[in-house]
Structure 1
């Protein structure tokens, strides 16, 4: 990407991950400078399409680390993309912009990069923004319908009391779960934004950077110091255990058949029964 399209200006380098559509592998670059969403042939790497994604924002608010999400939008395979203070939907075959929602930082706050990836339940997208790590959380619910600029019509709810800066939210059985940067856990209804229950992992100076995973009613949350926190979330919050991997963990755990993959700074762990 750097050789072909020039260096990025991101303070923390590329943080977004590639995502696969039916035909392509898609990458986003959102930074101060030319920002874009691009699709490449899976086999050859040839460019299939590349569309600009440039917005005027306060300092660092145009820096984006979140990963596009493949969704079905009005019967078409589409890419839900968050960054530059705008949530957009692009046709996956052509890259054409078909839907856009802004207005996520009306106060014009500076130093708000987009990190957490949006999650979708039905026709509702939930966007974590703000600086939860500095006590300035923002959480938004947006309805995914209509066309064009829906900023004035599709905002369902907004909250400024809970959020997450780095870990992405996770969906489980129609509800959304947040693990905040300091270990606060919140379960809420995506349609209304209302909290269902709250819990918290033990207080610690280390932060949470990897995104949580839920499998079989159990939540796994990696902490920066290498502790994997485990909780039962089937009926509220119940802490089950703390597992020390012996090295720092900032990556998100990945499930496999009867397995859990955890990547530390030096080691890839595969955990089974």
Structure 2
């Protein structure tokens, strides 16, 4: 199944490479690939996609690819040509999808794949009547000390203020650590880095990723999360910071900057490198 997922997502990437995409369209492609990679039952999910108006035409083509891979013996001597054909066949429908939807609408469409089922349980219980009117209650046990109330207020207000400040200055806060981190990555390739500095960047990337996700910037959140996880693996000596890893990390940075600044440039190759890095680190325990 992993092979099928990789094949389909790479077919989508190849098709996307043939199109000149805006940052919003790049985000939709990333969301589509993410949905495929994370699917627990891809065959059934593709069937459901065909029933969703926004996804139906592309889902038909994706299902054809899925069935080809699932029901046939793969001839690896011909797989390259077949891959090219599959990718070419996706271009028209992928382009139609990207031209007719937005990231938010696409997210809503994906949510239709697995609607939340509300189970309502009706329980009939015999009512037990107890007269508590004469019972003395020590109200003190329900009262919080004033000092605790003050502490909670300070903590909660600080949290809300920090998040509100982050949102108001979103672009500045996201972009501020990018250049220093890029410098560290260049030093990292020369095995010249400080563990304390790396820990600091891990925290910043984790925090910014979490807050980005909270306000709906999925692709920015994913890039931050990938950087934080990769740096953590490097710090814990579970991953060697070779050239490919460094390029993957820098690709994540480039995607972040392009999306935040709304640059109308084709960053598909950088998204692909970021995807490759995500797949690599996901296999490391």
Q: TM-score, normalised by structure 1?
A: 0.26
Tell me which of the two structures has the higher relative contact order, counting C-alpha pairs closer than 8 angstroms and 6 or more residues apart. 2
| Structure that is richer in strand per residue | 1
Larger Rg: 2
Q: TM-score, normalised by structure 2?
A: 0.25
| Structure that is richer in helix per residue | 2
